Amino acid sequence: MFVNNDVKNAMAMEERHVIKLSDPDHPVILSTEDLHVYYGKKEALFEGDLEFASNQITALIGPSGSGKSTYLRSLNRMNDRIATVTGKIMYRGVDINQPSIDVYEMRRRVGMVFQRPNPFAKSIYDNIAFALRLRGVTGKHKLDEIVETSLKQAALWDQVKDDLNKSALALSGGQAQRLCIARAIAIKPDILLLDEPASALDPVSTGQLEDTLLSLKEHYTIIIVTHNMQQAARISEYTAFFNQGRVLEYDTTSHIFTNPSVQVTSDYVSGNFG
Amino acid sequence: MKTTEQLEAKLKRRSKAAKLEIWGRLVSLTALMLIVAVVVAIIGFVASKGIATFTSNHVSLWDFLSGKSWNPGVNGANGKPEVGALPMIVGSFLITILSAIVATPFAIGTAVFMNEISPNKGAKILQPVTELLVGIPSVVYGFIGLSVVVPTTRAIFGGSGFGILSGTCVLFVMILPTVTSMSADALRAVPRYYREASLALGATQWQTIYKVVLRAATPGLMTAVVFGMARAFGEALAVQMVIGNAALMPNSLVSPSSTLTSVLTTGIGNTVMGSLQNNALWSLALVLLFMSLVFNLIIRLIGRKGRLQ
Ligand SMILES: Nc1ncnc2c1ncn2[C@@H]1O[C@H](COP(=O)(O)OP(=O)(O)O)[C@@H](O)[C@H]1O
Ligand SMILES: [Mg+2]
């Protein structure tokens, strides 16, 4: 039977392509199984089933409104009062999407940085000490030490070490975002979730932020939502492509960007989307 | 060439929109001037009348502010008229501060509930109730005070039941809705991302409310309280109905006393213009006016500090 070449190519493309991880150096630390998210009656995420490798960077890409933030915010239960989340979120073998989970303790292990830098109207020092003090760390030496290491890890220490008592609101956008990272890592989480952390930043700050994330990989597992495909390609090991509330493709970043298995992914990463 | 000229002519011609613009400015400027004129006239009038006590009746300002007996028209032992306003000043401040102290925790608690804990119920029940309470005329509060609060106070503490305590109870209920809805506004103005940042760091909801939301809303909450105090300080009718109207130093919370406003409203109709009795009342009005300016100033200062943060 005669088959048009284009049709043949399209048929060769899969509908959906999601790999399971098997890297013994970077075991799976977090995974979701059959995750659905509903805002009221409206389903915004259909069946999220991803695995995240420890001490690696995973990028979530996809057009705006495709459910990336919805998915990410479900991972540390930030959607609790906003949406209904069904399915399993397995963190080191424990389903953290159960009602019996202490979300406050869980969020200590799964930290989050938002799109818009959101430091508190407090001093730089107090911003970082905030979560530590909540957990009863009050010793001045201990606090000083953690504030310093957190700021160093976030590559902000050199710029602010003399201004620790100044208001965090005086920082530039890039500095404020790195302060938010320092604040999140001060409580030593396992996993760091970032939702388009560079979208409000200029290119130079974005570059610095990416360097920071690459260096943080050594200590933390990083999951980052980004609308910037070059960014995903530059920093991540794995990439998930979201479209219309579905994970259409999940594979290594190089696979997604050079040889995607799904037609829509191919269109999206090559800029022919629309 | 021609087209340039045409264009220039067209651009220079006053369009209809530009003329309307001038008219609009004129109208709003006139309205503004009128209001300014009225305010200046009121202040000027009260001030000129109020100062007469000191200029034409030769009462010293110190005697007025610190004297403890109020009996204009009668000369005291020292031969001077008895126009000591201290009992009323103390009464006014006492009742204002007490009602604010009682109302603030309730108001902030309700605002927190409405805004943070149960926004749905807050929006459906508490918000309309609060707005309704703001609109109830003060005579209604006074009447309820007279028929419920005063007898209750009498039953518990003895005496007549009139006094600062009854006044505080009535004012507490009166300022509560205002302070509550302004506090709720202050909480609503705290950006959502502060709450998210705090929750994402593993803070509980209470920790978030206490350490982040209330801290960030402090200037707004202070404004709400001062606003409530200004209202309590200036309230006349309801207070007058329950305080007993005795121009005496309040020696207990349940003995009849008076405030600046209650003495003014009960006395102003019974005096002759230009007499010392009348002038002395105007001096009380001047003190009231001055205090409301002070409250206004405090609110502005808090607002400015809040913005600077
Ligand atoms: N708080 C919310 N309430 C209702 N619908 C929401 C809410 N947040 C997101 N959505 C909807 O869910 C879908 C996915 O949104 P989102 O996860 O923000 O996408 P992305 O981050 O990929 O741009 C969109 O259709 C959006 O309108
Ligand atoms: Mg988003």
CA of B196 to the centre of ligand 2 (A): 15
- Domain assignment present for residue A161? The answer is no
- Domain assignment present for residue A126? The answer is no
Q: B248 or B31: whose pLDDT is higher?
A: B31
Q: Kindly tell me if the per-residue pLDDT of B23 is higher than 50.
A: yes
Each residue's pLDDT tens digit, B137-179: 999 999 999 999 999 999 999 888 899 999 999 999 999 999 9
Q: Residue B216's closest CA among A40, A213, A270, A127?
A: A127
N- to C-terminal Cα separation, chain B: 57
Would you state the pLDDT for residue A3? 47
pLDDT confidence bin for B6, thresholds 50/70/90: confident
CA B3 from chain centre, in angstroms, equals: 63
Would you state the pLDDT for residue B60? 87
Each residue's pLDDT tens digit, B255-275: 899 999 999 988 888 888 888
N- to C-terminal Cα separation, chain A: 32
- Domain assignment present for residue A178? The answer is no
Would you state the pLDDT for residue B246? 87
Q: Measuring CA to CA, how many Å separate B181 from each of B122, B186, B301?
A: 11, 9, 21
Would you state the pLDDT for residue B72? 81
SS3 content of chain B, % helix, strand, coil (to 5): 80, 5, 20
Would you state the pLDDT for residue B266? 87
Q: Report the helix count and the strand count for chain A, using DSSP H and E.
A: 11, 12
The mean pLDDT value of chain B amounts to 89
CB proximity under 8 Å: B 137-196 to A: 191, 193-194, 196
pLDDT confidence bin for B277, thresholds 50/70/90: confident
- Domain assignment present for residue B96? The answer is yes
Q: Report the helix count and the strand count for chain B, using DSSP H and E.
A: 15, 2
Q: Kindly tell me if the per-residue pLDDT of B33 is higher than 70.
A: yes
Tell me which residue range forms the domain holding A15.
5-116+189-269
Would you state the pLDDT for residue B290? 92
Q: How many CB atoms lie within 10 A of CB A139?
A: 10
Q: Residue A80's closest CA among A59, A98, A61?
A: A98
Spatial separation of the C-alpha atoms in residues A1 and A91, rounded to whole Å:
50
Q: Measuring CA to CA, how many Å separate B37 from each of A49, B289, B290?
A: 71, 17, 18
Q: How would you classify the pairing of strands A42-48 and A238-243?
A: unpaired
Q: Whose CA is nearest to atom 20 of ligand 1?
A: A65
DSSP state of A167: B
Spatial separation of the C-alpha atoms in residues A222 and A232, rounded to whole Å:
12
Q: What's chain B's Rg over C-alpha atoms?
A: 26
Each residue's pLDDT tens digit, B89-112: 999 999 999 999 999 999 999 999
CB-CB neighbors (< 8 A) of B194 in chain A: 118, 120-121
The number of folded domains in chain B is 1
The residues facing A37 across adjacent strands are A45, A85
Test the A interface: residue of B201, B206, B211 with most A CBs within 10 Å: B201
Q: Measuring CA to CA, how many Å separate A228 from each of A222, A231, A236, A266, B223?
A: 16, 5, 12, 15, 44
Residue for token digits 């952390």? A197
Each residue's pLDDT tens digit, B281-309: 999 999 999 998 999 899 888 888 766 55
Q: How would you classify the pairing of strands A246-252 and A17-18?
A: parallel
CB-CB neighbors (< 8 A) of B216 in chain A: 120-121
- Domain assignment present for residue B11? The answer is no
Spatial separation of the C-alpha atoms in residues A150 and A128, rounded to whole Å:
8
The number of folded domains in chain A is 1
CA B32 from chain centre, in angstroms, equals: 23
DSSP state of B263: H
Note residues around ion ligand 2 (Cβ under 5 angstroms).
A 69
Q: A225-234 in b/e burial notation, b at 16+ Cβ within 10 A?
A: bbbebebbbb
Phi, psi values for residue B59, rounded to 5°: -85, 140
Written as six digits, the tokens of A253 are: 């970043």
Strands (E), B34-145: 70-75, 81-83
- Domain assignment present for residue A207? The answer is yes
Spatial separation of the C-alpha atoms in residues B97 and B100, rounded to whole Å:
5
CATH number of the domain at A202, please. 3.40.50.300
Tell me which residue range forms the domain holding B148.
83-308
- Using DSSP, state whether A113 is helix, strand or coil: strand
- Domain assignment present for residue A158? The answer is no
Strands (E), A49-165: 51-53, 57-61, 84-91, 94-95, 110-113
- Domain assignment present for residue A92? The answer is yes
- Domain assignment present for residue B15? The answer is no
Would you state the pLDDT for residue A147? 96
- Domain assignment present for residue A163? The answer is no
Would you state the pLDDT for residue B308? 54
A-B CB pairs within 8 A amount to: 60
CATH number of the domain at B125, please. 1.10.3720.10
- Domain assignment present for residue B114? The answer is yes
The residues facing A38 across adjacent strands are A43, A84
Within an 8 Å CB–CB cutoff, is residue B204 touching chain A?
Answer: yes
**Mean per-residue pLDDT, B200-224:** 94
Written as six digits, the tokens of B111 are: 């605002």
Would you state the pLDDT for residue A1? 44
Strands (E), chain A: 17-18, 28-39, 42-48, 51-53, 57-61, 84-91, 94-95, 110-113, 191-195, 221-225, 238-243, 246-252
Would you state the pLDDT for residue B1? 61
Q: How many CB atoms lie within 10 A of CB A249?
A: 29
Nearest CA in chain A to B198: A131
| Residues with C-beta less than 6 Å from any ligand 1 atom | A 39, 44, 62, 64-70, 82
Q: Is the distance from CB of A163 to CB of A124 less than 8 angstroms?
A: yes
CA of A232 to the centre of ligand 2 (A): 15
- Run of H or E including A226: none
pLDDT along chain A (274 residues), means of 10: 50 80 93 95 92 96 94 94 94 94 94 94 95 92 96 92 94 94 94 93 90 93 94 96 95 94 92 76
Each residue's pLDDT tens digit, B163-172: 999 999 999 9
